Amino acid sequence: MQRGRGDTYGKAAEKSRISRLPFSEFDVTPGWIHVGCQGWRYADWRLSPCPDAAFYSADTPATQELASYSRTFDLVEVDSTFYAVPQARTVEGWATQTPRDFHFTLKLPRALTHENRLRRGRGTLLEFCQRSELLGPKLAAILIQLPPSFGTAELPALERFLPHLPAGLPFAIEFRDPSWLNWRTLELLGRHRVALTLGETPWIDTATSLPWLEHLPVDWVYVRIMGVKHGGLERFTHLQVDRDRELSEWAAALRRLALAGRNACVLLDNHFQGFSPGSANLLKHKLGLPVHPFPRDNVQTGGQLRLDLGVAPSREDVTM
C-alpha cells in the first residue's frame, strides 16, 4: 500500500496483529443467499395481536434470544457496533451462542463514518477489525454505512480510506446518496474488493438499486430492505403493510443473481412491514429457501412451521 506523508492512517495498519486471512475463508459458495433481520432484540417480538404469532415466547430469557433467533435464521445484522467497538467477550459470546453455520454482519462504528467521515480514526478501525475477527468464519460482512450527507464531493476521503481496510475481511459499503451509483465508484470498490450495498431504503429505492445488481464490483452484494423510520410504523408485533410487490421483485432479482454465481447477504428491517421475522420468511419462501419455525412455534408446536403465522400475513393484519 502506498501512503502519502500526510496520510492520517499512517503505517500503523502494517503493524496490526490482525490475521490476514485470505478472502476465500470468509467467502461463500457461488449462488449463496442468506436472509436475516436487522437485529434480534426487540421487546415487540414477544407480543402480537395473535398470541401464538410472537417471535419469542414470553418467558424466553433475554440472554437466550440470540440462540433462539439462530434456530430460525442463519444471518443477523448487529446494530450495536455502530455505536461502539464491542468488547472481545461480547463478540466471543455471539460466536459461542450460535450454530457453526450462522453468520453476522457488523456495522463499522459511527466514529469513523459519521463523526470523522473516514478521515481519522486508524486506532478505532484496527481495534474494530481485530474484534470482528473473533467471529472467524461466522463473519459475513462489515458494513461501512455512510450518512446521506456524504456525497461524491468527498470521494478523496473514500479513496484515502479504502486502502487501509485489512485484507481478508469482507467489507461492504452503503451509500445514502444515489449519486454514488456510477462506474467510477464501482471501479474503486472493485479495486479494493469492497462490496456494494443496495436495497429498498429511504435513500435508494428498489427501482434505483435493481439495475446495479448486474454490475457489482465484487462477487457478492449486501442488501438492506428497510421502511420509513420517521412517521412510519411504531410497533413491531406483526406484519402490517403489504409490500409483496417489492419482495417479489427482490426475490426474482436475487434468484437471477444466484444463477449467475453471485452471492448475497439480505437483511430486513422491522419498518418495512412491521415485523422483520415475518418479512424475512416471506422472502425466503419466495426464494425457495428452507423456512424454519419461529422460536415460539418451536415451543408450542414441536417445531412444526405454522405458515399462516410465521410466513404469510393474514388479510386482517395487513393495512395499505
Cell of 228: 420509513
Encode pLDDT of 152-180 as tens digits. Answer: 999 999 999 999 999 999 999 999 999 99
Query: Closest Cα to residue 104, out of 73, 128, 130?
Result: 73
| Beta bridge partner(s), residue 248 | none
Task: Quote the CA–CA distance of 64 and 76 in Å, as a whole number.
Answer: 15
- Which pLDDT tens digit goes with each residue over 73-126? 999 999 999 999 999 999 999 999 999 999 999 999 999 999 999 999 999 999
Give the CA angle between residues 270, 148, 45 to the nearest 5°: 10
The Cα 93–Cα 97 span in angstroms is 6
Helix, strand, or coil (residue 267): strand
- The model's pLDDT over 237-260, given as tens digits with 9 standing for 90+, comes to 999 999 999 999 999 999 999 999
* pTM of the entire predicted model: 0.85
Q: Which of 110, 112, 103 is nearest to 83 (CA)?
A: 110
Q: Helices 244-259 and 276-287 meet at what angle, rounded to 10?
A: 50
pLDDT score for 199: 98
Q: Which domains does the chain have, with CATH numbers?
A: 32-317 (3.20.20.410)
71, 98 contact by CB (below 8 A) = no
User: How many residues in total does the chain contain?
Assistant: 320
Q: Rounded distance, CA 204 to CA 211, Å?
A: 12
pLDDT, mean of residues 202-226: 97
* Alpha-carbon torsion (199, 203, 162, 36), positive or negative: negative
Measured between alpha carbons, how far is 315 from 44 in angstroms, rounded to an integer?
20
Report the C-alpha gap between 116 and 18 in whole angstroms: 23
> What pLDDT score was predicted for residue 245?
97
Q: By three-state DSSP, how is residue 132 classified?
A: helix
Residue 46 has a CB neighbour count (10 Å cut-off) of: 16
Q: 280-313 pLDDT, tens per residue?
A: 999 999 999 999 999 988 654 333 333 333 433 3
| pLDDT tens, position by position, 3-51 | 333 333 333 333 333 333 333 334 444 589 999 999 999 999 998 887 6
pLDDT of residue 52: 62
The SS3 call for residue 162 is helix
Angle at 306 between CA 301 and CA 250, to 5 degrees: 140
* DSSP one-letter code for 319: B
Grid cell, residue 54, equals 410472537
End-to-end CA distance of the chain: 52
> So what's the pLDDT on residue 229?
87
Quick check: helix, strand or coil at residue 142?
strand
Q: How far is CA 64 from the centre of its chain?
A: 21
Phi-psi region of 262 (alpha: psi -120 to 50; beta: other; left: phi over 0): beta
| 33 contacts 266 by C-beta, under 8 angstroms | yes
